[in-house]
Amino acid sequence: MVGTSRRRLLAQATIIAAGIGLGPPVSAQTTRPIRILVGFAAGGGNDVTARLLAQKMSEGASGQVLVDNKTGASGLIAADILAKAPPDGTTLMVATQTTYAVAPQLYKSVAFDAPRDVAGVALLGASPLVLVVNPSFAAKSVGELIEMAKAKPGAINYGSGGVGTTPHTSAELFLFNAGIRMTHVAYRGEAPAIADVVAGQLPLLFANVSVVTGQVKAGALRALAVTSPKRAASLPDVPTLAEAGIKDSNVETWFGLTAPAATPREIIQRLNAEVRKALAAPDLQQRFAELSLSVTPSSPEELDALIKSEAVRWGEVIQRAGIKAPE
């Protein structure tokens, strides 16, 4: 009798929970772990953000959350995997304007279309970029760099994590507003480009502040300016581009968590709640702050709207700079 009563109570509790909209966490719907795709090499801004989020979500109701780097085509290879994944909440992706707003306009042969193929889960944060140079590079300021570039147009190389990445398009915006030319060198990810600047194989690049703060503080890189409207909290002595006399060049890389477009709304909402809980953790907020990465949680709908608006902004930069996808 006791066993029967207990089973009856459990059954009633399940019915009540379903009736008020409760349900098991996303991870309870499947035995598989959640996989967060990253379209760039380990160590870059997307990767750092994804790993911090995955660690915190793994501590909560989500269960095991893994990061899977699938590099290439400015993140579109990973995005294509996401679009074709089962829409059950177990395959997600951390991406920026690079993959969702810029790359689809460059790679015309790719069928991926973010508004059609992915659903926003939540905006995670935003990071300014910083113009960094090898410590041996002659220019000690933005003004000196501009003078060097004007003296020898196109002679100075700058790197990025790939054609159409936010560091690349941000550099093109800077070059246009400064009235100078430099030569772009594209890498397969932000981390290897940064490594070559540290090694002296490349003179400079724009990089996410969240990725290079440690190298700047250690003296492995020298920072000339940040792209945010205000100075970065982690690099308070580094001026903004506006302070250096370059107007209209404010850029911040935003990071958003997305799912396949057909993912049921109840799963999207549940994931959004779990992400918000993770982002509210004091230790995660402290880690984000140390990297000058703001915490900016949003609704799924707000992220969807941001992806659409960013495509318009960066489409203008692409057209003006004549940025072309690699052959």
Tokens of 122: 């939540």
Number of domains in the chain: 2
Fill in the amino acid letter for 105. Answer: Q
pLDDT of amino acid 28: 43
In tens, the pLDDT along 248-276 reads 999 988 999 999 999 999 999 999 999 99
Q: Are residues 185 and 116 in the same domain?
A: no
**In this model, does residue 3 exceed pLDDT 70?**
no
Residue type present at position 10: L
Going by C-alpha positions, the residue among 94, 129, 127, 101 that lies closest to residue 275 is 94
* Strand residues in the chain grouped as ranges (E): 34-38, 65-69, 91-95, 118-133, 157-160, 183-186, 204-208, 222-226, 252-260, 294-295
pTM of full prediction above 0.85? no
Q: Within this chain, do residues 13 and 122 fall inside the same structural domain, yes or no?
A: yes
Same-domain status, 91 and 150: no
Q: Mean pLDDT over residues 286-301, rounded?
A: 89
Residue 21 located in a structural domain: yes
Find residue 222's DSSP bridge partners.
133
**Same-domain pairing of 95 and 148:** no
pLDDT score at 49: 94
User: What pLDDT sits at residue 32?
Assistant: 81
| Enclosing domain of residue 317 | 2-127+252-321
CB of 135 within 8 A of CB of 222? yes
Higher pLDDT, 67 or 296: 67
pLDDT band for position 31 (50/70/90)?
A: low
Strands 118-133 and 204-208 come out as antiparallel
pLDDT of residue 9: 40
The answer to whether residue 247 is domain-embedded is: no
| 266-291 burial: b if 16+ Cβ within 10 Å, else e | ebbebbbebbeebbeeeebeebbeeb
Nearest-CA neighbor of 317 among 44, 127, 106, 94? 106
One domain for residues 158 and 100: no
Is there a domain that residue 241 lies in? no
Q: Is the pLDDT of residue 23 over 80?
A: no
Worst-scoring range by mean pLDDT, 74-83, 99-108, 114-123?
A: 99-108
Domain boundary among 210, 226, 242: 226
The yes-or-no verdict on residue 11 having pLDDT over 70 is: no
